[in-house]
Structure 1
Amino acid sequence: MKHVLTILLVFMIGTVQAQNRLRPTVDLTLAAGSSQATFSLVGWHQWQLGRKQRLSIGVGPRITSYVGNKKDFWTAPASIARGSSTPFLVVLSSQETQNWDTLNVQRPFVFSMNAAVQVAHQIGKRFRAGFNIDLVGFSVGRTSAAVFTSDGRQETTEAKPVPFNLLLTGDLDQGSLNSEFFVQYRLKEKWSLRAVYQFYFVEYKTNTSIQQLPEPNDRFRNKANLLGIGLSYSLN
């Protein structure tokens, strides 16, 4: 949380120092994969950097809605799912699949609102490429029937979205977080078309710690790999 607050403070200072470089934009994205899809809306405040102002760094609020049908969610906490729960090292650690149990959420629907950051670079006159990711926020959504499976044993239960979202790196993350790699092509002065690869973490939790081994757990995660298309509109 300390690192997140530091990043936000830096950008607030940058707002005062670089008003003449401010570039507000709005992005709409629709992404889909196997039996799941997202729709997202984000408003970016972007600062153009460098002598030619090709590099931009932006911040803004992002709303993402996620919907799926009978999707598998797996054991979420890094302390169970990965070989290490050390920040950053968790990404490279082994996946302890023998500890994973499955929660099949029948009708998942999650609506999340997060603060996000973006870094992008202008390529020539019309192309732009970049990356963005959610930092912190909250989620609401539908409570759904779910089927928990462990060692071949099945149990019917209910699950609901994890309400608090926080970026901590890899499987240490909590809640529902959106991230995108994109390539953008300027159609007109203010309109651009975007091709997007989206990686969306979405989490559900059961009413009780339904998983008991190797330790009690109620959080389960689906890592959605999605392809999408979007539009970007410049407000100035």
Structure 2
Amino acid sequence: MKKYSITLLLLLAGNIAYTQSRTAKDQFMEAGLAVARKQGTFTIACFYNWNLGKKKRVTAGLGARATAYFGRDQYYITAPAELTSGSTGPGVLFKENINANIDTFLVRSPQVNAVNLLINLGYHFSDKIFVGFSIDAIGYSFGSRVSGTYINGHSSVLERAGITSFNALLISDNDRGSLNSELYAHYGLTDRIRIKAGVQFLFTEYTTRSNVQTLPEPNDRFRRKSLLAGFGIAYRL
């Protein structure tokens, strides 16, 4: 009986320590993998969060994320919003794509590296369960040039392309470059170590050597939108 009482006290003490550990500020690092058909990512990120409210359940923060994307036989489509939606501005989020304006660029082995500043929001449902959403805001992408196939209807032509270097969050197809966003959940194993699961929505982008698309206007930017399932581990600093 004494043995079980001591065990119960230790568990209660651990739970109290976990509850008291949620402070006004929170820093952590994480690493993760995400996969989909013929593609995947590896990410490393750091977060600096502010826990808000009387119970400090709401989280808002900033951070930085490095994303390495790998794929095989991936189709990139016309990127600029003025072509895909016929306009620019916030309204493109609610507009259907104009299929007649969209051409394709096939990349056999895409590999894109992006380093971006991010925005992070979330909510502590309990001392162990946290659900968050992070989105890249601005940064830089790099990687090797590739040979791809530009496809327009029944015609195609080989073309060289490089990774679009400047990344900027500008709402939907107004975005430029390679940007990662993630809806995720953390489960606390200890006060410092958390396991993570979630989904990534990733834009990667190539710029062709010339304006291979000529109608309805010249274009050299092509984007891949990827939805991936991911998992990882986070460590509270």
State the TM-score, normalizing by the size of structure 2. Answer: 0.89
CA RMSD in angstroms, aligned pairs only: 1.0
2:34 pairs with 1:31: yes
- Consecutive unaligned residues of structure 2, counting only runs of 5 or more, are 1-22
1:113-144 Cα offsets, whole Å, 9 max, x none, are 10001001001221110100000000001211
The aligned counterpart of 1:50 is 53
Q: Which amino acid aligns with 2:75?
A: D
Q: Deviations over 1:56-77 (max 9, x none)?
A: 1111111111111111000000
Q: Which runs of 5+ in 1 are unaligned?
A: 1-19
Q: CA deviation at 1:34?
A: 1.2
The number of equivalent residue pairs is 215
Q: Does 1:160 align with 2:162?
A: yes
Conservation of the 8 A alpha-carbon contact between 1:105 and 1:159: no
SS of 2:142 mapped into structure 1: strand
Partner of 1:169: 171
CA positional deviation for 1:84 = 3.1
Indicate the residue corresponding to 1:107 in structure 2: 109
Deviation for aligned residue 1:232? 0.9
Q: CA deviation at 1:106?
A: 1.4
Q: Distance in 1 between matches of 2:86 and 2:142?
A: 30
1:83–1:94 CA contact under 8 A, matched in 2: no
Instruction: Give the distance between the partners of 2:84 and 2:27, measured in 1 at CA.
Output: 40
Residues 84 and 93, structure 1, Cα contact 8 Å, conserved in 2: no
Q: CA–CA distance in 2 between the matches of 1:39 and 1:26?
A: 14
**Structure 1 match to 2:82:** 79
- Report sequence identity in percent: 35
Q: Deviations over 1:186-208 (max 9, x none)?
A: 11111111111100000001000
- Runs of 4+ in structure 1 deviating by more than 2 angstroms, as ranges, are none
Provide the secondary structure at the position in 2 that maps to 1:228.
strand
Which position in structure 2 is the counterpart of 1:206?
Answer: 208
What is the CA distance between 1:22 and its match in structure 2?
A: 2.0
Query: In structure 2, what is the Cα distance between the partners aligned to 1:84 and 1:186?
Result: 45
Distance in 1 (alpha carbons) for counterparts of 2:170 and 2:162: 21
**1: CA distance, partners of 2:86 / 2:163:** 25
* 2:226 paired residue among 220, 224, 227: 224
1:61 to 56, 64, 71: 64
TM-score (norm 1): 0.89
C-alpha distance in 2 between matches for 1:80 and 1:57: 35
Kindly provide the CA deviation profile for residues 163-185 of structure 1, in whole angstroms up to 9, marking residues without a partner as x: 00000000000000000001111
Give 1:83 shift: 3.6
How far apart, CA to CA, are the structure 1 residues paired with 2:147 and 2:109?
7
| Distance in 2 of aligned mates of 1:128 and 1:48 | 12
The secondary structure found in structure 2 opposite 1:84 is coil
Corresponding position of 1:7:
none
Q: What are the residue-to-residue correspondences of 1:186-197 with 2, within 5 Å?
A: 186-197=188-199
